[in-house]
């Protein structure tokens, strides 16, 4: 399978701060998605981003497929951003995803 490494594993921010989360993967992929798992365990799809850059409000993501990494940017963080952020990749477009271990984010008021 594909190895997916996320960094940092843990991150503590003061409300209003910016952050960058990184996802490295070991093989070429056709699909990459970022998810947010909130403290209640619910998984929210943030971005479908196999390549390029996308923005959604305070969040943006960039995937450089040729160099096998993706970045998730969070600007002006809020306490509701707390939770675990997962990167997931799929090599063959069949939605069989390999997940990283996640970045656990804690935003303090």
Partner 1 sequence: NAGVMQNPRHLVRRRGQEARLRCSPMKGHSHVYWYRQLPEEGLKFMVYLQKENIIDESGMPKERFSAEFPKEGPSILRIQQVVRGDSAAYFCASSPLGTAQKLFFGSGTQLSVL
Q: Interface with partner 1 includes 99 (CB under 8 A)? A: yes
Q: Are 86 and 22 in contact (CB under 8 A)?
A: no
Q: Interface with partner 1 includes 101 (CB under 8 A)? A: yes
Among 13, 72, 77, 86, contact with partner 1 (rule: CB under 8 A): 86
Q: Interface with partner 1 includes 31 (CB under 8 A)? A: yes
Cα-based angle 86, 98, 22 (whole degrees, multiple of 5): 40
In DSSP terms, which residues pair with 20 in a beta bridge? 73
Q: Interface with partner 1 includes 96 (CB under 8 A)? A: yes
Q: Interface with partner 1 includes 94 (CB under 8 A)? A: yes
Q: Interface with partner 1 includes 78 (CB under 8 A)? A: no
Q: Interface with partner 1 includes 48 (CB under 8 A)? A: yes
In DSSP terms, which residues pair with 72 in a beta bridge? 21, 61
Residue among 66 and 94 whose Cβ is closer to partner 1: 94
Q: Three-state secondary structure along 36-59? A: EECCCCCEEEEEECCCEEEEECCE
The neighbour count for residue 45, using CB atoms within 10 Å, is: 10
Residues near partner 1 (CB under 8 A): 4, 30-31, 33, 35, 41-43, 45, 48, 50, 86, 88, 90, 93-102
């Amino acid at each position: 399978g594909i190895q997916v490494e996320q960094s940092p594993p843990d991150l503590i921010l003061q409300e209003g701060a910016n952050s960058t989360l990184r996802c490295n993967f070991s093989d070429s992929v056709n699909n990459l998605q970022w998810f947010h798992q909130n403290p209640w365990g619910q998984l929210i799809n943030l971005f479908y981003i196999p390549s390029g850059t996308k923005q959604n409000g305070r969040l943006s993501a960039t995937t450089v497929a040729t160099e096998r990494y993706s970045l998730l940017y969070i600007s002006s963080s809020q306490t509701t951003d707390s939770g675990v952020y997962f990167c997931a990749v799929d090599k063959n477009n069949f939605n069989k995803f390999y997940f990283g271990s996640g970045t656990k984010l804690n935003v303090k008021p």
